[in-house]
Amino acid sequence: MNNIEYDFLPGVLQRFWRDSAARFGCFLLLALIIFSLLGPLFSDVSYSDTNLHLRNTPPGLLFFFGSDELGRSIFVRVCYGAKISLFVGLSAAVIDMVIGTLIGGFAALMGGKTEELIMRLVDILNSLPNLLIIILLSVVLQPGVLTLILAMTITGWVNMARITRSEFISLGKQNFMAAAVSMGASKKHLFFRHLLPNAIGPIITTMMLTIPHAIFTEAFLSFLGLGVQPPLASLGTMASDGLSALVFYPWRLIIPAMFITITIFSFYLIADSLRDAFDPGEFYG
């Protein structure tokens, strides 16, 4: 039987953790999460408290990461900005995974004209400029976190649907699928018992690669003023505010840009290591 074995997941986790890049990526991500959650506890001010007489203060004991043009603590604002980036990235990726997996899997199982219709819809959505759709929706609706997530998921599931369909079609040619069909298994049983468990590797890897893309998109839109709105803090808005002060107050741009880079880099390390750990060629076929 070529179906997935029960010890599949422990084996994946072992191979994943043996990878030094995976451990480093997890360490960076865990440190970022702890920093974003516990960081504000070490400051007496909130992300919106202003102190005009202390504006543009360099990093030091008073302000760990310095202050901005309104005297707000960049340290505290980076903590809140990191939480928003992680929330938007994870939410958009999970929604994309659920929608894309269901639609792509449904298309592969149904086949025929139903599959053709679904995939032509996917082709149409894939041909549209994704960033343009996100910007237009952000302009039409009230800018905010929920609007960002909605805008990114309208077309974000397309790639997941393509990958899921491709994996399901490939798995459908395997002997264990022929045996299940000959025994009268329903499409629902085939989907959840045979196809989805065997395609979980590419699906999870694709989801992990979606997270840094969503984080970068959120930062980019916030940088343009179409994302998180004041007084909420976002790494993108902080980078935008700090760009004009780069020459005289470089920490205002460098620090939020550094945290955006660390966040995206950690997820890419984890995603690459997961792809190697799952190694579909070792389990399928």
CATH (domain of 262): 1.10.3720.10
Asked whether the bond before 231 is cis by omega within 30 degrees of 0, the reply is yes
78 neighbors 251 (Cβ within 8 angstroms): no
For residue 49, which phi and psi values (nearest 5 degrees)? Answer: -70, 130
Residue 10 covered by a domain:
no
pLDDT of the residue at 9? 66
Residue 50 domain-assigned? no
**Considering the domain boundaries, does residue 37 fall inside one?**
no
- Specify the pLDDT at position 5: 45
- 17 domain-assigned: no
Identify the pLDDT of residue 6: 44
* Inter-CA distances, 38 with 30, 80, 264, Å: 12, 10, 21
- In the chain, the number of structural domains is 1
- pTM here? 0.84
Distances (CA, A) of 237 to 106, 210, 226: 40, 22, 9
Q: Do residues 219 and 239 make contact, with C-beta atoms less than 8 angstroms apart? A: yes
Beta bridge partners of 273: none
Residue 99 belongs to some domain of the structure:
yes
**Phi, psi angles (nearest 5°) of residue 175:** -65, -40
Instruction: Give the model's pLDDT for residue 129.
Output: 80
Helix (H, G, I), strand (E, B) or coil at 67: strand
Residue 187 within a domain: yes
Task: Identify the pLDDT of residue 265.
Answer: 94
15 domain residue, yes or no: no
Please tell me the predicted confidence (pLDDT) of residue 146. 85
Closest CA to 43 of 66, 20, 23, 15: 66
- Separation CA 282–CA 285 (nearest Å): 8
Q: What is the pLDDT along the chain (285 residues), one digit of tens a residue?
A: 444 444 566 777 888 888 899 999 999 999 999 999 998 888 877 777 788 888 888 898 888 898 888 888 899 999 999 999 899 989 999 999 999 999 999 999 888 888 899 989 888 888 878 778 777 887 788 777 888 888 888 888 999 999 999 999 988 888 888 888 888 878 888 888 888 888 888 899 899 999 998 899 888 888 887 777 777 788 888 888 888 888 889 999 999 999 999 999 999 999 988 888 886 454 443
Cβ-count burial 58-95 (b if 16+ within 10 Å, e if not): eeeeebbbbbbebbbbbbbbbbbbbbbbbbbbbbbbeb
- 44: in domain: no
- Beta partners for 73? 67
Confidence at residue 1, expressed as pLDDT on a 0 to 100 scale: 42
Q: What angle do CA 131, 91, 119 make, to 5 degrees?
A: 55
Choose among 13, 24, 97, 96: nearest CA to 276: 13
* Domain range for 115: 70-279
